[in-house]
Chain A
Amino acid sequence: MSTATVLIVEDDRWLAQQHARTLAGSGYTVATAPHAIAAMSAVDDVQPDVIILDVLLSGNTGFALLHELQSYGDTGAIPIILCTNLAADMSIKDLTPYGVRRILDKTTMLPDDLVTAVRSVLL
């Protein structure tokens, strides 16, 4: 069982609960934030090992958060997993410079895909 901490940035509360349940079941410590502003506070508070990030958030988008995280040396090193409905329109190659290590498609992913993705970026 892992003790790594995962921050889920997802504005759909019920979807965030499902992600949290899946990851907690695999032993991860989980924190959630519903928008980019709360996410920056949570990054300071819980110092996550991985961030799972939705793109279409209330207020600022996930891309604004990516830029903010990249502004600091420590937060810029946190691996990001994008979990989005827009996965088909995104390229991992374009987003790697922003710390994005995996892209999950919300419309096709299985719950366990989240655990597999987190494990892979923590290797």
Chain B
Amino acid sequence: MSAQSGTHQQGGNEPLNDSVSSLVAAAHELKSPLALVRQLSLMLESADLSIDEQKRMLRQITLTSERALRLTSDLTRSARLQDAMFALEPINPQQLCEDIIHELTPLFNAHGREVRLVARKHPLLLVANRDLLRRIILNFSDNALHYAEADSSVEIWIKALNKGETIRLGVRDYGPALSSNVWKTLQSKLERAPQSVHARPQSSGLGLYIASQFAQAMNGAIGVTRHHDGATFYVDLHASRQLSLL
């Protein structure tokens, strides 16, 4: 765990065993995209819109639906985590991140934002399950899209830590600084299962909790670093020794 001030890492997790609070959290997380899709549909039904405006709204409906579907898909994956076997294999994180950026670019562009990879000169390999790692980075990126200021970039970067033993993938957003209260809440979100929205008004933290479960299934951990102008969410995973054996 990093000793850096303003950094918090999630360690071991308890199983997602509070089904009622999880259900409430899932319902809460899905409310926003569904409410937006409904409002856009109502506008399409009732307003006198140009063809271009109609196309833009239909595109927004598609992209918003895809975000909501990613969450439902992650929930299903999370619920089956205990029962399934996940193959861990050497993965080139740079290639994976490039694929994710290709997938997310339409969504970010539609929001007037950019997502980009901070490229490395020397390739790294880590041990992970490709699907779970992809879901973690998508989750962090989705979070960054929400928090990033308009017209700002979200950066995905890859670093080697602990003399190359650990590989860290980070997603950096540039947005309003997190207040101390929000920071404390975020720390607790990284540690506990989602709770009722009454207890945690900003959000249920369900996405982060699922990401932490996925990381743990790959013998890794997630964490967050607070900056004066945003935050970095990261996942730490074991480096693959495959390159050093070559």
Chain A residues whose C-beta falls within 8 Å of the C-beta of B46 in the assembled complex: 111
Question: Are B32 and A12 touching (Cβ within 8 A)?
Answer: yes
CB distance from A7 to the nearest CB of B (A): 17
A85 to B203, CA, bound (A): 11
Q: Which chain A residue has the least Cβ–Cβ distance from B182?
A: A59
Tier of interface size on chain B: 20 to 34
Question: Are B146 and A21 touching (Cβ within 8 A)?
Answer: no
Q: Which chain B residue has the least Cβ–Cβ distance from A34?
A: B150
- Pick from A13, A37, A56: contact of B150, CB under 8 Å: A13
> Chain A CB within 10 Å — which of B32, B39, B176 has the most?
B39
Residues facing B in A1-44 (CB within 8 A) are 11-15, 18, 21-22, 25, 34-35, 37-38
Residues facing B in A85-123 (CB within 8 A) are 85-86, 89, 106-107, 110-111
Q: Is B35 among interface residues, defined by CB-CB distance under 8 A? A: yes
Tier of interface size on chain A: 20 to 34
Question: Are A56 and B203 touching (Cβ within 8 A)?
Answer: yes
Question: Are A15 and B198 touching (Cβ within 8 A)?
Answer: no
- Pick from A22, A61, A107: contact of B38, CB under 8 Å: A107
A85 to B202, CA, bound (A): 12
Question: Are B42 and A59 touching (Cβ within 8 A)?
Answer: no
15 A–B contact pairs at CB < 8 A? A11-B146, A12-B32, A14-B60, A25-B47, A34-B149, A56-B32, A56-B202, A58-B175, A58-B176, A59-B178, A60-B182, A89-B197, A106-B35, A107-B34, A111-B39
Residue numbers of B with Cβ under 8 A of A are 28, 31-32, 34-36, 38-40, 42-43, 46-47, 60, 64, 111-112, 146-147, 149-150, 175-179, 181-182, 197-198, 201-203
Known: A35-B176, A55-B201, A56-B202. 13 other contacts (CB 8 A): A13-B112, A13-B150, A14-B40, A15-B36, A18-B39, A21-B47, A25-B47, A34-B149, A37-B176, A56-B201, A59-B175, A89-B197, A111-B43
